């Protein structure tokens, strides 16, 4: 599938130079659910994650080191590379309904190094803009050896509290991150969970500790009156 | 055939051995997670009816998808069957070791060799490595490679993962002498 992307990329051409080998590998993972619990999803959705393996430029630097120069050089480039591929995998900006992001830092780095690449405007604002979102982008991070799977959370790109769109997708690079690398992930989905049916804030009753206790008492009374039969089929 | 989900992986290697790889080395995998057609039937002696019912459909489902995902002419290819814990490896082999399955991919890729394969049994999330060899000459050493795959949620005990893999080139930075130099 070819997706035409319109972006003001010219400014990135002038971004600070990076070593030719700053980016080692990119893995796109796309999942399409056709059946869940025996039924086709009412609203079919495609999920995808895109994971890029970059050299950690801060390995060996002290914990006081300012991370900003490398962030400004690397994060916008990562935002472009990752969202380009995500949009191709999901069918374009309009198709994307939920998004998320993540980082896996190799064992010689700090979690802060991964956070530097995904939590500043140099990455987050651009990812949000390229994916047509407004929400804060939810995230996961970890420090791990190569081959660790990261479960990346996602929520709705313009209405984060939309419960039907709370979902996750995995990202994994078989040989990354090496100890001196960072895996940076952007994830997206074109719709809700396969059989989303747990209501929403608009349909929720008011639940407090007191109402929950009342409900538990009522459920206990029902169990007694039905001879403790297992209600499951 | 009940297909629960289809997973596509596209891998680009831009750097290897500390040097740029230009153009980036591309490998694509498409995997279908299907219900094991022989699940719950005990030992089925004759697998042919199930093969006839499903193998060609699987090949037709996966071949165009892996071609599209690669976005280039495949130079190497391979296949995989990963059987859930309640099945036999023979069930997975039944679905992929037939021309009915592989011919869809061979035709699409203008290939003439047999597809190298991995067959194994494991839990959901098991790692498997798909071997790939050149599409017209399985002795071309530059194209011997394998690709590691993990599906987080498959196969369930009564399922089988069936996959095709395609590479647009040989190994990144391949530089081994050809087989013919040793003969």
**CATH at residue B92:** 3.30.1330.110
Taking the C-alpha atoms of residue B61 and residue B55, their distance in angstroms, rounded to an integer, is: 10
Question: Which residue ranges in chain A fall short of pLDDT 50?
Answer: 1-2, 9-11
- The answer to whether position B150 is within a domain reads no
B148 and chain A in contact, CB less than 8 A: yes
Q: Which domains does chain A have, with CATH numbers?
A: 10-189 (3.30.1330.110)
Spatial CB neighbours of A151, under 8 Å, sequence gap ≥ 6: A140, A168, A169, A170, B152
Maximum distance among all Cα pairs of chain A, rounded to whole angstroms: 75
Which of A20, A34, A85 has its CB closest to that of B4? A34
Residue-level pLDDT at A223: 79
- Quote the DSSP letter at residue B173: T
pLDDT at A7: 57
Residues 60-119 of B with CB under 8 A from A: 68
* Structural domain includes residue B72: yes
B90 falls within a domain: yes
pLDDT higher than threshold 60 for residue B93? yes
ipTM: 0.96
CA dist A85 → A2, A91, A123, B67 (Å): 11, 10, 15, 17
Q: CB distance B7–A172 less than 8 Å?
A: no
How confident is the model at residue A92, as a pLDDT? 98
C-alpha distances in angstroms, A225 versus A15, A221, A231, B86? 72, 6, 12, 40
Number of domains in chain B: 1
Q: How far is B67 from B45, CA to CA, in rounded Å? A: 35
In a domain, B82, yes or no: yes
Range of the domain at B90: 3-127+155-164
pLDDT at residue A228 in the model: 57
CB atoms within 10 A of CB B148: 16
Q: Residue with structure tokens 């494991």?
A: B122
CA gap B118, A82 in Å, rounded: 31
Contact state of A172 with B20 under an 8 Å Cβ cutoff: no
Report residue B137 CA to chain centroid gap: 17
Measured in angstroms, the CA of B51 and the nearest CA of chain A are apart by: 22
Q: What is the model's pLDDT at position A17? A: 80
CA distances from A147 to A41, A170, A173, B80, B103 (A): 31, 12, 6, 20, 33
Task: Point out which residues pair with B129 in neighbouring strands.
Answer: B148
User: What pLDDT sits at residue A1?
Assistant: 46
> How many Cα atoms occupy the beta-carbon half-sphere of A54 within 13 Å?
27
Cite the DSSP H helix spans in chain B. Answer: 48-70, 89-96, 99-108
* Domain-embedded: residue B110: yes
Biggest CA–CA distance in chain B, Å, is: 53
Q: What percentage of chain B has pLDDT greater than the value 90? A: 98
Nearest by CB to A28, from B9, B14, B15: name it.
B9
Percent of chain A residues topping a pLDDT of 90: 84
List, in sequence order, every residue forming a beta bridge with B12; answer none if it has no partner: A26, B26
Interface probe, candidates B67, B127, B150, chain A, greatest A C-beta count within 10 A: B150
């Amino acid at each position: 599938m070819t997706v035409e992307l319109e972006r003001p990329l010219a400014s990135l051409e002038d971004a600070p130079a990076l070593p030719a080998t700053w980016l080692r590998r990119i893995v796109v993972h796309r999942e399409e659910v056709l059946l869940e619990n025996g039924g086709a999803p009412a609203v079919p959705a495609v999920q995808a994650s895109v994971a890029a393996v970059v050299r950690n430029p801060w390995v060996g630097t002290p914990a006081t080191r300012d991370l900003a120069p490398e962030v400004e050089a690397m994060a916008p480039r990562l935002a472009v590379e990752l969202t380009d591929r995500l949009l191709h995998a999901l069918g374009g900006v309009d198709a994307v309904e939920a998004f998320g992001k993540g980082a896996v830092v190799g064992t010689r780095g700090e979690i802060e190094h991964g956070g530097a690449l995904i939590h500043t405007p140099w990455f987050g604002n651009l990812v949000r803009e390229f994916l047509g979102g407004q929400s804060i982008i939810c995230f996961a991070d970890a420090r791990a050896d190569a081959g660790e799977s990261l479960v990346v959370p996602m929520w709705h790109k313009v209405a984060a509290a939309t419960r039907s769109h709370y979902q996750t997708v995995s990202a994994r690079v078989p040989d990354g991150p090496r100890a001196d690398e960072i895996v940076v992930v952007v994830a997206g989905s074109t719709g809700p969970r396969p059989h989303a049916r747990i209501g929403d804030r608009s349909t929720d009753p008011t639940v407090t500790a007191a109402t929950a206790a009342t409900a538990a008492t009522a459920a206990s009374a029902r169990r007694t009156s039905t001879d403790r039969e297992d209600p499951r089929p | 055939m009940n297909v629960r989900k289809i997973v596509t992986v596209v891998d680009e290697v831009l750097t290897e051995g500390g040097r740029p790889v230009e153009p980036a080395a591309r490998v694509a995998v498409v995997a279908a997670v299907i219900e094991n057609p022989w699940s719950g039937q005990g030992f089925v002696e004759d697998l042919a009816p199930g093969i006839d019912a499903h193998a060609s459909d699987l090949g037709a489902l996966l071949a165009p998808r892996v071609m599209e995902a690669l976005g280039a002419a495949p130079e190497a290819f391979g296949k995989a069957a990963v059987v859930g814990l309640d099945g036999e490896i023979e069930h997975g082999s039944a679905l992929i070791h037939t021309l009915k399955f592989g011919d869809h991919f061979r035709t699409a890729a203008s290939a003439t060799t047999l597809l190298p394969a991995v067959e194994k049994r494991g839990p959901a999330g098991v790692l498997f490595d798909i071997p790939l060899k050149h599409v017209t000459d399985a002795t071309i050493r530059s194209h011997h490679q394998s690709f590691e795959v993990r599906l987080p949620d498959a196969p369930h005990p009564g399922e089988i993962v069936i996959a095709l893999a395609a590479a647009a080139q040989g190994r990144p930075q391949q530089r081994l002498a050809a087989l013919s130099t040793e003969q």
